[in-house]
Structure 1
Amino acid sequence: MVRVTITQVAAHAGVSVASASRALNGQIASAETIAKVRHAAAVLGYVADATAQSLQRGRTNQLAYAVADIGNPVYVEMMSAIERVVSASGYRLLLSSTGTTSSSVDVVRDLGRGYVDGMILSPLRITDELLTALAQSPTPVVVLGRLPDGARLDTVRADSFTAMRLIVDHLVTEGRRDIAFVNGPTDTTPGAFRRDGFAAAVTSHPYLSTRTVDAQDFTIAAGYTAVRQVLAGDQRPDAVVAANDLIAIGAIRAAEDLGLTIPRDIAVTGIDNTELAGVVRPGLTSVDLGAEERGRVAAELLLARIAEPSRAAHTVTVAPSLVVRGSSLVAGHGPKRVAPALEHGDEATAFGTEEAAG
């Protein structure tokens, strides 16, 4: 089928091409001209060229969401929240998988092609190369995660330190005294902060016996392998704190394969409070890091940045809450949600703490 052009629409309406363009793009034109042009477009079956319109208007009405693992349920939950916000403002959301650090850099550099009006990026690793690409990006970027102090970008953070304190305090209350922390790769942002958060949390309980093991990835399979090795040792812990829910589910499977009963023989906890945490049996105790809220806030920050490019950079920290289920409870206790206690110096002591950066 031959595409109808705006020149043909203008000729059919008896107006100039410039007048037809203004009428179709909502610019200044008389009511009579708008009526003629719209009628001509309908008769001829004219469909506007979205690419040409984007070039004319300087925008695409598209936003990107770039993550390392599009299959991770945390990213899926964030994506759903982001999509709800941006679609309500007339934007289409494009999904991009970064996978590696180099891919994160490439996807930021590609913003110079002008295919989107803004991006929400959730990088696993922060490198100097990525920071340079972010600083030089001609397109607004909001980062889901942590950047070094002084980075003048909008960011939305989780609070891993409070998350670890909630978990450790809960396990101590449940009578656990030998805790193994099973982390993911520590060269990642979540791995580093959860490692440091666990180390800080156990200092309040000097009588605890603790150990740390790094799984090869934040996955069920990697969690299974790491925990199987921990549980096969001479000194079996009475609790496993996993760096995310996927590792925790691998831990549950490893314990079951060794004939252990959860939580009688060993407690298991996770982080993220994904949908999976409520599906496994026993239900998985997990810290909710506010994935949906972080996605919503990131989307709102990006829309605000697009509307006002010169506004000050903002950092928002979403406070966690502990969702207690059967995987860590002693007999007779039921599921519950525990919010963080307010303490002076906490990284975040309220839901959605916000501060101007820089």
Structure 2
Amino acid sequence: MASADGGPATIETIARRAGVSIASVSRVLNGLGGRPDTVRKVQAAATELGYVPNAMARSLRGGRSGQIAFAMEDIGNPVYVAMVRRIQAVAREAGFRLLLHSTGADREEELRALRSLADRHTEGLIISPIRITQDHLDELRRAVAPVVVIGSLPEGIALDNVRVDSRVGAAMAVAHLAGIGRRRIGFLNGPLDTVPGQARHQGYLDGLGTADLPVDEELVEFGEFRTDSGADAALRLLERVPDLDGLFCANDLIAVGALRALREAGRRVPDDVAVVGMDDTELARVTWPTLTSVGLGSARRGELAAELLVDRLGEGRDREPRWVSVTPELVARESTRS
């Protein structure tokens, strides 16, 4: 029998039919037992829905898949490309295959990636969400396999975590622009309801305060963390603030778009407008002019996350959660040189 949505029965549909958690269903179907009433409900729901475990699931009962997964916003973003390369290297050395899941920052896709751990197709997950909702926190607490989060977690979440203080990095960017004499420093940000958007906005304000520059809302534009959005935001900002002489962009993709917009507007970089990006991706080294950018250790964060997960799956299964931080670093290039 198929599930209510017409597809094959899954652990999720069994959990809904039985009125129990996905973790409980996973335990029962994998022969790990549970409360008698829970076992009865799960078995009845599985029979009613015609659930048949696939060959891989049967082989994993009490065994290992040899796979770990990485869920990220956009597999085409150079930040995640750098992470994937390091995660892949660590995983391969430890004997794991790496599965990739590009979520598009869709909440349901990210939650699905966490819930899918109950199927045991992967032994653990590295996830890097740009928004962390209460639903994310609930699923992280319920996860039936090890999870490592790349990004800031609130206090009290007992999970391995790799983070970087992009607020500090944003303040460094503004300080650099102020240090080369720029006084009308604009900011092109991504969505303010994201973790990086909030942190970088606060860092921009911190940097203005340290440089004794006034806060002017006219100097800030919001969009998406994409090149086309960066170009559009830069054109809007230039139209509104013709005396703009410095520009901080919340990531390198936005900065690439801004460089294009500045050329189209006849503004020279760095003579008229000095530009700083963030993430120090490969893009920063191939733009024209090359882009000053604040590195957030993307490759290193990926490597650390993979090492934490591999350790958790091995001898570190019972250790206390570790929170590891990477330090931002500004790399000066042609876009801010006199």
User: Partner of 1:86 in structure 2?
Assistant: 91
Aligned to 2:115: 109
Pair 1:205-2:211 in alignment? yes
Query: Could you tell me how far 1:310 is from its partner in structure 2?
Result: 2.0
Deviation string for 1:94-125 (max 9, x for gaps)?
A: 00011211211111111111110000001011
Structure 1: which amino acid aligns with 2:269?
A: I
The answer as to 2:333 corresponding to 1:325 is: yes
Measured in 2, the distance between the counterparts of 1:136 and 1:198 equals 36
Find 1:219's aligned residue among 218, 222, 226.
226
Which is greater in Rg? 1
| Equivalent of 2:63 in 58, 61, 80 | 58
* Alignment-derived partner of residue 71 in structure 1: 76
SS of match in other structure, 1:252 = helix
TM superposition shift of 1:315: 0.7
C-alpha distance 207-137 of structure 1, shift in aligned 2 (>3 A)? closer
TM score, norm. by length of structure 1: 0.76
What is the count of residue pairs matched by the alignment? 282
User: What's the counterpart of residue 235 of structure 2?
Assistant: 228
Amino acid at match of 1:58: G
Which of these residues, 131, 136, 148, is aligned with residue 142 of structure 1? 148
Q: Name the counterpart of 2:50.
A: none
Pick from 118, 121, 124 the counterpart of residue 127 of structure 2: 121
- RMSD over aligned CA atoms reads 1.7
Q: How far did residue 214 of structure 1 move?
A: 3.9
Are residues 55 and 179 of structure 1, via their aligned partners in 2, closer, same or farther at CA, if it must alter by over 3 Å? same
Measured in 2, the distance between the counterparts of 1:139 and 1:245 equals: 34
Question: Following superposition of structure 1 onto structure 2, how do residues 22-33 of structure 1 map, counting pairs within 5 Å?
Answer: none
Q: Residues 271, 54 of structure 1: CA spacing in aligned structure 2 closer, same or farther, 3 A cutoff?
A: farther
What is the CA distance between 1:169 and its match in structure 2? 1.6
2:292 maps to what in 1?
Answer: 285
1:166 maps to which of 172, 183, 186: 172
Aligned twin of 1:190 = 196
Q: Residue type matched to 1:328 in 2?
A: T
Does 1:310 pair with 2:318? yes
Alpha carbons 1:160, 1:197 under 8 Å: kept: yes
What residue ranges of structure 1 are gaps of 5+ in the alignment? 1-48, 331-358
Q: Deviations over 1:287-330 (max 9, x none)?
A: 11101110000001101111232211111110011110011111
Q: Is the 8 A contact 1:178 1:210 kept in 2?
A: no
Residues 257-277 of structure 1: CA deviation (Å, up to 9, x unaligned) = 011111101011100111110
Bigger share in helix: 2
Q: Given that residues 85 and 300 in structure 1 are in contact (C-alpha distance below 8 angstroms), is that contact kept between their aligned partners in structure 2?
A: yes
